[in-house]
């Protein structure tokens, strides 16, 4: 079985979750997320054009994980 490489979108979402947990969602900065994810700020903005879009995707990811946990 082939191991799937983590794409930049997944790395950015994981980094955003980590930064939000550490400093709070109100203090989350795109620079901190990009640095944590190992991508340029331009790479982050390519995937998520605004901070609001990043936070929306993060909430959607949490909801998807919650629904999977309920199904299990």
| 3, part of any domain | no
| 37, part of any domain | yes
Instruction: Report pLDDT digits (tens) over 27-69.
Output: 899 999 999 999 999 999 999 999 999 999 999 999 999 999 9
What is the domain range of residue 12? 8-71
| 1, part of any domain | no
CB 37 within 8 A of CB 8: yes
Confidence band of 2 (pLDDT split at 50, 70, 90): very low
As for how many domains the chain has, the answer is 1
**What span, in angstroms and rounded, lies between the C-alpha atoms of 11 and 28?**
16
| 58, part of any domain | yes
Other beta carbons within 10 angstroms of residue 39's beta carbon come to 19
Helix, strand, coil tally for the chain in percent (to 5)? 75, 0, 25
Q: What's the CATH number where 18 sits?
A: 1.10.10.60
């Amino acid at each position: 079985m082939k191991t799937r490489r983590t794409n930049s979108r997944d790395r950015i979402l994981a980094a955003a979750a980590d930064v939000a947990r550490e400093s709070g969602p109100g203090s989350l900065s795109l620079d901190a997320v990009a640095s944590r994810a190992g991508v340029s700020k331009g790479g982050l903005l390519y995937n998520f054009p605004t901070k609001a879009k990043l936070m929306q995707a993060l909430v959607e990811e949490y909801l998807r994980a919650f629904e999977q946990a309920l199904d299990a």
